[in-house]
Amino acid sequence: MGYQILLICVLAFIPTILGRDTIILGHDTTMGTIVIDGTKTIAETDENFVCLTLDIWPHDECRWSKLCVWDGHASMLNLDLTLPILNKAVQAFKSVRIRVGGTLQDKLIYNVGTGFKGTCHPFQATVGSLFDFSAGCLYMERWDDLNNFFNNTGAIVTFGLNALLGKHNTKGIQWEGKWNYSNAEALIQYTVEKNYRINSWEFGNELAGRLSIGASITAAQYAEDLLKLREIIDRLYNNSQQKPLIVAPGAFFDEAWYDEFVRKTGPKVVDVLTHHIYNMGAGNDPKLIYRFVNSTYLSQVSNTFEQLENVIQKNAPWAAAWVGEAGGAYQGGSPHLSDTFINSFWYLDQLGMASLYNTKVYCRQTLIGGFYGVLKSSTLLPTPDYYGALLFHRLMGPGVLKINNKVSSDLRSYAHCSRGRSGVTLLLINLSNTTNFLITVQNDMNMSLRKSNTRTNGSHSKYRQKRTASREEYHLTPKDGLLRSSTVLLNGNPLETTKEGDIPNLVPVYRQSNSYIHIASWSIAFVVIPDFVTPACK
Ligand SMILES: *[C@@H]1O[C@H](CO)[C@@H](O)[C@H](O)[C@H]1NC(C)=O
Ligand SMILES: *[C@@H]1O[C@H](CO)[C@@H](O)[C@H](O)[C@H]1NC(C)=O
Ligand SMILES: *[C@@H]1O[C@H](CO)[C@@H](O)[C@H](O)[C@H]1NC(C)=O
Ligand SMILES: *[C@@H]1O[C@H](CO)[C@@H](O)[C@H](O)[C@H]1NC(C)=O
Ligand SMILES: *[C@@H]1O[C@H](CO)[C@@H](O)[C@H](O)[C@H]1NC(C)=O
Ligand SMILES: *[C@@H]1O[C@H](CO)[C@@H](O)[C@H](O)[C@H]1NC(C)=O
Ligand SMILES: *[C@@H]1O[C@H](CO)[C@@H](O)[C@H](O)[C@H]1NC(C)=O
Ligand SMILES: *[C@@H]1O[C@H](CO)[C@@H](O)[C@H](O)[C@H]1NC(C)=O
């Protein structure tokens, strides 16, 4: 079959490009072929792979903490759940996952149950206490409001439970002692009685392994506590049709710790192993920006996915892998990066990469809050990543296909069976600012979609396209070519919400399926090919 890379001068025989009929002269163009193995899927994601997070912070975080990125009303405790734009942004997905949790989850008391009801208070700065905050309070009125919001928006909810309650700090960051489960049990009981649907209960946040944040629990103690949670869930949901999943440990991956943990909990206790990813660096690192367009850098984290997949295959075949929290840059994200187009190079690449390693769900820090919100905290306006997430959710199905792409390391490519329709959808990311790519797609089964080498007739292609159009393309580029633009263009048109907060329609351009796919420099494209019929995507 052979792929060929031809460096050519871009001239008349280039097909229509992004709705224009010419492309800028002087740029190099690389032509090449991507081969998709259509015989079988190599991994499966969950039907609902895209997940967004809500964190837990007091509204006056800046008064207290050095971090100071959560001021305002951007956390699960204080977000205005009635805002139309928020509701519309979540509803647009129809079924997006929301994970509620974060640093202060292990300091949150639920105002329910004997010994707890009426005793808890909002977070206060408390120097010397873990994370320099007192324990905080989740009032049941707020829990009701949150569940109404989840129900109204179709969200699929993962809630992170406090795993530190009852434990005490022994030395360093080590915490010991049995989990006091009675408050969590009371919250779950309340939730069951109210008939609130929680998809999954997660246990603890970043308390595991070498990269524990603030507090650390041994795998042995964690396993013992988790067995208790299993018993509580099995008992309280005994009469329910749908039993929620148990998710743990929500930590940075540490192979030895995860291994020991699954061996000690034993079969079918933990349903999902979550891990967190912040692979781009600290939010204020001046070198950060170069990493987003560095293919080698972006690929490094694939080791982590691979190791977790190995742990599951070897020692926990009953468990699924999820990314429980991933924000790119840590420390609240990076202003003018995390909320701009350039972040999509990291984020959409991550969605593709994680899928390849059988990650079932990928939770993006955050839906709102910090600099990494897909909705901006101040205005709730969607960032470029919001639209990227929405396109991924709508277009990419669970079946993941193997791709052979030797075109260029700057062209990152992923292929899934299309969501809810026939054919395949590609995600193509062009990290290069100097090379355009012209791509043909082939099926490994020698069913070339480019049946002939007919060169499209520039000026006439527009109407020919009408008759024979069969490929949908969604090209994302930054406004004015500025990578740090907070406005993304879809096929050349800015994506903007209406005054009422309505999310715009995401309208593709149609191309003949035998024409080249053009991926401009510094751009991202979803390409839907309905007539790419292949046994893997039945
Ligand atoms: C858990 O904490 C509550 C409230 O402090 C207390 O009443 C209860 O006795 C504790 N349970 C255990 C098993 O220590
Ligand atoms: C969720 O919403 C539906 C209507 O959309 C309603 O029938 C149902 O009672 C709600 N469930 C809960 C637990 O609020
Ligand atoms: C669930 O209910 C069944 C039948 O009512 C009972 O036999 C079983 O022990 C219960 N299991 C748990 C974990 O409570
Ligand atoms: C890209 O990242 C790799 C891995 O961190 C690094 O070795 C390399 O120097 C980077 N390349 C550029 C051009 O910065
Ligand atoms: C293209 O990117 C490289 C490396 O990131 C940079 O050095 C160069 O200035 C960029 N060229 C243009 C035209 O932006
Ligand atoms: C990526 O962009 C560069 C720079 O404009 C371009 O030369 C190259 O052909 C593009 N790649 C693809 C796949 O279109
Ligand atoms: C596809 O064609 C190439 C040569 O044209 C051949 O080597 C290869 O075996 C074929 N693959 C299949 C799956 O038929
Ligand atoms: C291109 O357009 C010309 C003029 O309209 C037409 O004569 C010619 O047949 C077309 N070529 C192809 C390959 O469609």
Q: How many angstroms does the Cα of residue 519 sit away from the middle of ligand 7?
A: 27
In the block, tokens 């050519």 appear at 8
pLDDT tens string, the chain, 538 residues long: the values are 223 322 222 222 333 333 332 333 346 778 888 999 989 999 999 999 999 999 999 998 888 777 888 888 999 999 999 999 999 999 999 999 999 999 999 999 999 999 999 999 999 999 899 999 999 999 999 999 999 999 999 999 999 999 999 999 999 999 999 999 999 999 999 999 999 999 999 999 999 999 999 999 999 999 999 999 999 999 999 999 899 999 999 999 999 999 999 999 999 999 999 999 999 999 999 999 999 999 999 999 999 999 999 999 999 999 999 999 999 999 999 999 999 999 999 999 999 999 999 999 999 999 999 999 999 998 999 999 999 999 999 999 999 999 999 888 889 999 999 999 999 999 999 998 876 777 878 776 545 444 433 334 344 433 333 345 589 999 999 999 999 999 999 999 999 999 999 999 999 999 988 889 999 999 999 999 998 888 999 8
The answer to whether residue 281 is domain-embedded is: yes
Beta strand segments in 252-393, E: 272-277, 281-282, 320-326, 329-330, 359-364
462 in contact with ligand 8, CB cutoff 6 A: no
Cβ(323)–Cβ(354) under 8 Å?
Answer: yes
Question: Domain check: are 76 and 180 in the same one?
Answer: yes
Question: Domain check: are 37 and 56 in the same one?
Answer: no
pLDDT value for 440: 78
Tell which atom from ligand 8 comes closest to the C-alpha of 455. Answer: 13
152: alpha, beta or left, given left = phi > 0 and alpha = psi -120 to 50? Answer: alpha
The answer to whether residue 104 is domain-embedded is: yes
In the block, tokens 């939770």 appear at 363
Question: Domain check: are 405 and 443 in the same one?
Answer: yes
pLDDT value for 438: 74
pLDDT value for 12: 26
292: alpha, beta or left, given left = phi > 0 and alpha = psi -120 to 50? Answer: alpha
One-letter amino acid of 85: I
Residues belonging to the active site: 206, 325
Question: Structural domain of residue 109, as residue ranges?
Answer: 50-381
> How many structural domains compose the chain?
2
Question: Domain check: are 142 and 85 in the same one?
Answer: yes
Residues 264, 268, 272: CA angle, nearest 5 degrees: 90
Cβ(44)–Cβ(418) under 8 Å?
Answer: no
The answer to whether residue 203 is domain-embedded is: yes
Q: Measuring CA to CA, which residue among 228, 217, 270, 222 is closest to residue 247?
A: 270
State how far the Cα of 118 lies from the Cα of 134, in Å rounded to an integer.
16
Q: How many angstroms does the Cα of residue 435 sit away from the middle of ligand 6?
A: 4
**Residue in 287, 293, 295, 296 to alter for ligand 4 test, most ligand atoms within 8 A of Cβ:** 296
The answer to whether residue 305 is domain-embedded is: yes
The answer to whether residue 214 is domain-embedded is: yes
What are the beta bridge partners of residue 417?
424
First to last CA, the chain: 24
Question: Domain check: are 29 and 55 in the same one?
Answer: no
Residue nearest to atom 11 of ligand 5 (CA): 433
Cβ(432)–Cβ(522) under 8 Å?
Answer: yes
Question: Domain check: are 12 and 89 in the same one?
Answer: no
342 in contact with ligand 5, CB cutoff 6 A: no
Question: Domain check: are 39 and 69 in the same one?
Answer: no
Q: pTM higher than 0.85 for the full model? A: yes
User: What CATH number did the domain enclosing 166 receive?
Assistant: 3.20.20.80
Question: Domain check: are 329 and 365 in the same one?
Answer: yes
Secondary structure of 397-456 in the HEC alphabet? EEEEEEEEECCCCCEEEEEEEECCCCCEEEEEEECCCCEEEEEEEEECCCCECCCCCCCC
The answer to whether residue 387 is domain-embedded is: no
Question: Domain check: are 324 and 461 in the same one?
Answer: no
Please state whether the peptide bond connecting residue 249 to the residue before it is cis, i.e. omega within 30 degrees of 0: yes
User: What CATH number did the domain enclosing 495 receive?
Assistant: 2.60.40.1180
Question: Domain check: are 9 and 35 in the same one?
Answer: yes
